[in-house]
Amino acid sequence: MTEERGRVLVVEDDEKSARLMCELFSLRGFDPVTAGTGAEAVTLAARLQPRLILMDIQLPDTDGSTVLRTLRGNPDTAEIPVVAVTAFAMTGDRERLLADGFDGYLSKPIDIGTLVDEMAALMRGGEDHLR
Ligand code: MN
């Protein structure tokens, strides 16, 4: 199926992880774009209007929750679903990040099935055929 599912923004400073996530998204028919810093993420999100953002929590210039607050404070990006991605699954992480306002939560290494489930839940409007 070559259906275009839309643009997603992968915010990830680790190049290997970013490349892997982009490959997974591409295989599923999405158009992935990467940002390596929080500042770049804010700029690209406003310019490209992705339908979903995957946000690494540990970034070189800031942290993912701070970037999320910036995105939510801008009417151009406030409505874009943002899924947090963390390197370490710590007890309480999920609750804390969801309390920060993230729409979803994934821990590395990213499991493609979980990723697709999260995306299907967040992308309203007939994406239940993602698998
Ligand atoms: Mn990182």
Residues 47-56 pLDDT 10s: 999 999 999 9
SS3 call for 78:
coil
Lowest-pLDDT range of 13-17, 57-61, 65-69, 105-109? 105-109
The number of residues making up the chain comes to 131
Structure tokens at 20: 């892997």
Task: For ligand 1, an ion, list residues with CB under 5 A.
Answer: 13, 56, 58
Residues 42-75 pLDDT 10s: 999 999 999 999 999 999 999 999 999 999 999 9
pTM: 0.86
Helices 64-72 & 38-48 angle (0-180, nearest 10): 30
Distance 126 CA to ligand 1 centre (A): 32
Distance 53 CA to ligand 1 centre (A): 15
